[in-house]
Amino acid sequence: MRILVTGGAGFLGSHLCEALIEQGHTVVCMDNLVTGRVENVADLLGNERFSFMKYNVCDYLHIEGPLDAILHFASPASPQDYLELPIATLKVGALGTHKALGLAKAKGARLLLASTSEVYGDPLVNPQPESYWGNVNPISPRGVYDEAKRFAEALTMAYHRYHGVDTRIVRIFNTFGPRMRPHDGRVVSNFIVQALQGKPLSVFGDGSQTRSFCYVDDLVRGILALLMIESDRSVEQRTDRKFLHAKQDDEASESIHNPVNIGNPRELTVLEIAKLVIELTRSSSQITYHPLPADDPKVRRPDIQRARTLLQWEPNVPLEDALLRTIEYFRKVLA
């Protein structure tokens, strides 16, 4: 397959590019490098099946030649990034997704949208199944990311239903691993860097809020399983709306187009994660407490029954092993 990865030089995007190349596909990596880094894909630059384009997916989007699939991963993704780049975050969720879907329609390509557990907001149910509509404050600072992804999901489903574009939506829960930026504001990277530098670990609130962390290798495996799975009845590129609207009630063909949670259901408090990082790094760091940011979710845990059933997927890298791998990565980066 020839596959476009938008945001391909980012943390997740670069791991996806690498995995696709290893599977024998041809990859076009697109990134405007606002939060992505060329260093993340440096090892791929000499590969004849890999090409890099510095480009903003919100602009006119055209790729020469055929495309079989598009992985739309372009977006600021850490709280620090989307709070500093609120309008850019909203634009890539709306305009960028629109451009990517338009290209998928023109090329007859399958599109996989990277959505997020943030669509659930500060959830009132735990764990969160895909059927949960969420509890989002649209006008909070954090809302720019939540609503950008919720709109992107709605637009993706509209293109599937109205234009017959073959789409997938993955809702990504907290993920960590090599190639995270040391100071990107995410919990695991913050804690590891602070611990390795002997600085106090910054816990917001009392640390009782929960998160569920998935190692990047497990996440990539789940995403690619969702990308490659075929529908029970192939979705043709059609503009016959009577045909498409009739298909909306066909649960067999719709099932793979609805969102799928990919994440690790092992739930820990933020304070537990901080203590575990201190233990694994053998750091002398202490823990300090700071005011909780607005609308910070109190719980976060994926219900992955749908992924288990549809994709036969579940995470298999133990949290402690994954943290040790990530700690070793940051030791090298900081050195």
316 burial via Cβ count (<10 Å: 0-12, 13-18, 19+): exposed
The whole-angstrom separation of Cα 215 and Cα 218 is 6
8 Å CB contact between 156 and 167: yes
Point out the residues that are catalytic. 145
Place of tokens 């809020």: 209
Which residue type is seen at 63? I
Q: Could you tell me if residue 189 is left (phi over 0), alpha (psi between -120 and 50 degrees) or otherwise beta? A: alpha
The whole-angstrom separation of Cα 99 and Cα 105 is 10
Residue 31's Cβ-side half-sphere holds a number of Cα atoms within 13 Å equal to 25
Residue 124's Cβ-side half-sphere holds a number of Cα atoms within 13 Å equal to 6
8 Å CB contact between 324 and 239: no
Residue 21's Cβ-side half-sphere holds a number of Cα atoms within 13 Å equal to 21
The whole-angstrom separation of Cα 160 and Cα 83 is 31
Strand 167-172's sheet: what is its strand order? 50-54, 26-31, 2-6, 69-72, 110-116, 167-172, 260-262
The whole-angstrom separation of Cα 302 and Cα 306 is 10
Q: Could you tell me if residue 200 is left (phi over 0), alpha (psi between -120 and 50 degrees) or otherwise beta? A: beta
Distance separating the N- and C-terminal Cα atoms of the chain: 39
The whole-angstrom separation of Cα 161 and Cα 158 is 5
